[in-house]
Amino acid sequence: MREVGELLSGWSNFYVMIGSSAAALTGLMFVVITLVSDSKRSATRDGVSTFSTPTVVHFCCALFTSALMSAPFRSLVPIAIGLGLAGAGGLFHVARIALRTAKLETYRPDAEDWTWHVVLPFVAYATLVTGAVSLHAAPSLSLYAPAAAVTLLIFVGIHNAWDVVTYLATSTTEEPDRLGNGGPRKEDD
């Protein structure tokens, strides 16, 4: 088997790009949440937990995976363990989001919401676990799994962040929206 450093060297530019993008997009999500909280809307915990927090989790998983794949490990074992734990944690998180989404009372998710907030993240995290499990048996080929997973997570995160921002920008403050926002906030007199 080739040395780990030699095996991963071809991926270094990819993970620098993905990790940098994930970090920048995570920061932008904090800006968006701050702007939403400062607007005349009051987001409910369920809305933010269902539609915004998972986006940050996806970006952070892509960042973590990029860091893990760039670390100077001498063995594939810690990489496989890290990928497996990140993927399993992501699958658990997506299952929780699916349950929360099904219980939403202020908004009824459509097929696009289910696809982008549940199905595609599930595929990405399952791919991460698959890559971790197969890493020792077929390292060169298995390295494509975490790459595909983090790329999918980045695109899911971009789509979902754009979806929330666009929805908030185009909806009126009088109607409930996907973040669980009601009408305008009552100002203290």
| Residue 124 tokens, joined | 């990405």
Q: What percent of the chain has pLDDT over 70?
A: 82
The pLDDT tens digits of the residues spanning 39-81 come to 655 455 666 677 788 999 999 999 999 999 999 999 999 999 9
pTM of the predicted structure, to 2 decimals: 0.83
3-state secondary structure of 103: coil
3-state secondary structure of 189: coil
- The separation between CA 22 and the C-alpha centre of its own chain, rounded to angstroms, equals 9
How do the domains of the chain map onto residue ranges? 4-170
3-state secondary structure of 94: helix
Torsion of CA 127, 116, 165, 49, to 10 degrees: -80
The pLDDT tens digits of the residues spanning 28-38 come to 888 877 776 66
* Phi, psi dihedrals of residue 175, rounded to the nearest 5°: -105, 150
Alpha helices in the chain (DSSP H): 4-9, 12-38, 45-51, 53-70, 77-102, 111-114, 120-134, 139-142, 144-170
171 CB burial (10 A radius; 0-12, 13-18, 19+): middle
The answer to whether 27 touches 90, Cβ cutoff 8 Å, is: no
